[in-house]
Amino acid sequence: MPTYRIDLAYDGSGFRGYAANPGVRTVQGELEEVLAIVLRHDVSTVVAGRTDAGVHARGQVVSFCVDRPVDVTRVQRAVNKRLAPEVVVTAMVEVADDFDARFSARSRTYRYVVDEGRVPDPARRWTAWHVPGPLDVHAMNEAAAFFVGELDYASLCRAAEDKTTVRVVNTAAWRRDEGVLVFEVNAVAFCHQMVRSMVALCVEVGRGRLGAQEMPGIIEARDRNAARGAAPPHGLTLWSVEY
């Protein structure tokens, strides 16, 4: 059975997350519905990262198997005709039979954008969290450095029964870029709301409401109540998946 990889970008504003969920609009639900029309049979997809409601993707990856070879150019064009510009297949290729968008991935990279302008930028209202600044980026980077490593991130994740909250974070850093603050974090995998919780903590540090040196204690507490909630979802984008 041929296996195919789809590279996917989407504006998550109008979806209740990526994963299919009966009764609500999701990226997976829309994609699989259109693939079924184009390929003339149902398709079950596997995804690299199940983004939450309102979260965007620039470099999401999806894989699926079919019972016969398909014309990838035709399928890509047909799917985009029905779903673009909200959801766009940026590439589609046949891959090795053992490729799995989720389990073959070596790491994922997310970016979060904070607009620290005095007033909100209307052009960024769906893609950035407005936090009137200026924020202390140096202190925010000091805080972010404590997120790197193999740690138990229970304080920064929504609890999931019988699932580990230990993750390996490779890099985490803030930078100013074209008038906004960008947080980029790369990890093997993430827990639910983990990146948004990192952002919320760093913003509190940037505001001077929390010290960067308090991060280890918050992480070691392994208690969701020790953190400062989660940043809004619309500032977050799944930027890339590494294989």
Are 5 and 95 spatial neighbours (Cβ–Cβ below 8 Å)?
A: yes
**For this structure, is 136 an active site residue?**
no
Tokens in use for 49?
């990262």
Are 19 and 26 spatial neighbours (Cβ–Cβ below 8 Å)?
A: yes
Separation of first and last alpha carbons in the chain: 22
Q: Which of these is catalytic: 11, 52, 71, 100?
A: 52
Burial grade of 138 (CB within 10 A; 0-12, 13-18, 19 or more): exposed
Are 64 and 43 spatial neighbours (Cβ–Cβ below 8 Å)?
A: yes
What is the DSSP annotation of 138-187? HHHHHHHHTT-EEEE-GGGS---TT---EEEEEEEEEEEETTEEEEEEEE
Backbone angles phi, psi at 95, to 5 degrees: -130, 175
Distance CA 82, CA 133 (A): 41
**Residue whose C-alpha is closest to residue 198's, from 89, 97, 110, 128:** 110
Residues classed as catalytic: 52
